[in-house]
Amino acid sequence: MALNSVTGLLVLHRGEIRHETYQRGNGPDTRWMSMSVAKSVTSTLAGMAIHDGAIAEGLAARVGDYVPALADSAYTEVTLRELLLMASGVGWNETYTDPGSDRRALLAAQLEQRPGAAMALMATLPRVAPAGTRHNYSTGETQILAEMVSRAVGRPLADYLTQKLWQPYGMEADASWWLASPQGVEIGGSGIAATLRDYARFGQFLLEGGCVAEASLLPAGWIAEATQPSVLAGGESIDYGYMWWSGWTEPSRRDRAFAARGIHGQYLYYVNPRRELVIVQHAAAPKPMGRMVIEPMSLFDAIAAALAND
């Protein structure tokens, strides 16, 4: 806990809290702002929009048909599936510590809070590979996804999440979501602030097959497809689904576990279907990457093993 700068850890096994701890002044009422964990929420909302018929073309939907600002850009013909896999073939530099990176430029656009600034940046990016052939992690593509889903459902993502899941599933606290501009679209790749227990409930929702009151909110087979390794055009396999990470250790692979993770040590949804286990972790590592002394997935595997006979 100390070595990894953990500020909150909750273990939910078969729907019951088995461990819950808070550090560094945080508590059950703390609404911790997610980093890239929000990507997995945004991608799940895309699945809901397909299920609801708001994205009638499904995974074949084209970015240019939903986001007018990108109609004449390198993203015009990129499909929803390619966007979810971050395999658009459009150039992007995600380096958080590089002031000249695309990621830092997107952050500057978000901080500017000017309507259209984020999509104006995305429209300038060049194509560097055929769509679908290369995975390149891009927070910018989650912002495009946020634009697509919001336009498809005709309402803010926060409202859609509230109406589809947050209230019906029984989340116990209000949450908030950072906007790209006043009255604008949510930041698809970060900025959800919620309690540790409600993050755990989101993981439990997925563990239970994406159902509320026995009614599925997602297309058939969506969770398995979204959370397990994917194959790109050309045959390359990646440990990434629809903005979810598949397990990368031997035990997690065996259990078909998956995770949403963010910089500074966030692993808010480790979901292990075989063990009926959800683990959520807040952390405040002093640098974005490379500061996890203990490999988090190994910790989660150890917790899963310890609960195996319960």
Alpha-carbon span 160 to 154, nearest angstrom: 9
In this prediction, residue 267 carries a pLDDT of 67
Report the domain count for the chain.
1
Instruction: Establish if 179 belongs to a structural domain.
Output: yes
Nearest to 245 by CA among 96, 118, 84: 84
Helix %, strand %, coil % of the chain (to 5): 35, 20, 45
- Find the CATH number of the domain harbouring 78: 3.40.710.10
In this prediction, residue 12 carries a pLDDT of 97
One digit per residue, the tens of pLDDT, for the chain of length 310 reads 889 889 999 999 999 999 999 999 999 999 998 888 999 999 999 999 999 999 999 999 999 999 999 999 999 999 999 999 999 999 999 998 899 999 999 999 999 999 999 999 999 999 999 999 999 999 999 999 999 999 999 999 999 999 999 999 999 999 999 999 999 999 999 999 999 999 999 999 999 999 999 999 999 999 999 999 999 998 999 999 999 999 999 999 999 999 998 777 666 769 999 999 999 999 888 777 777 788 889 999 999 999 987 7
Nearest to 32 by CA among 240, 192, 203, 232: 192
Instruction: Establish if 86 belongs to a structural domain.
Output: yes
Alpha-carbon span 268 to 263, nearest angstrom: 11
Instruction: Establish if 37 belongs to a structural domain.
Output: yes
Alpha-carbon span 189 to 146, nearest angstrom: 8
Instruction: Establish if 1 belongs to a structural domain.
Output: no
Task: Say how far residue 220 (Cα) sits from the centre of its chain.
Answer: 20
CB-based contact 79:62 (threshold 8 Å): yes
Taking each continuous run of H as one helix and of E as one strand, the counts in the chain are: 11, 13
Domain of 50?
A: 6-306
Question: pTM to 2 decimals?
Answer: 0.95
